[in-house]
Amino acid sequence: MTTSIQTAAPMEGARPFVSITISVNGKPMEIAAGTTVEGLLTLLNVKREYTAVAVNRDITPKSTYTAVTLSDGDKVEIVRPMGGG
């Protein structure tokens, strides 16, 4: 017996759902292709204040969060201040 997964037929002209795998703070994560940095932060519910993001070692300025689209294999680092001396 086979199990068929019902998927909605993509709308005319719509992009079919494709997932990519990225690394977020060292952990692998599957997200939809086309996700932006802004989308990722929203997905993860990350506070924006005093937070910074780097993609593949390069700092992503806040002003470009909505413009930068993540690609398969990207390494994302999300940091903020912690206790230290």
Binding site for another protein (CB under 8 A): 24-26, 44-47, 49-54, 57, 59-62, 77-85
Residue 13 or 83 having the CB closest to another protein: 83
Cα torsion at 18, 22, 24, 30 (round to 10°)? 30
In this complex, which beta carbon is closest to another protein, that of residue 15 or of residue 42? 42
Radius of gyration of the chain (CA): 16
**Scanning the structure block, which residue is given the tokens 């932006």?**
36
Beta-carbon count within 10 A of 62 CB = 13
Compute the least distance from the CB of residue 71 to another protein, in Å: 20
Based on CB atoms, which residue is closest to another protein, 32 or 54? Answer: 54
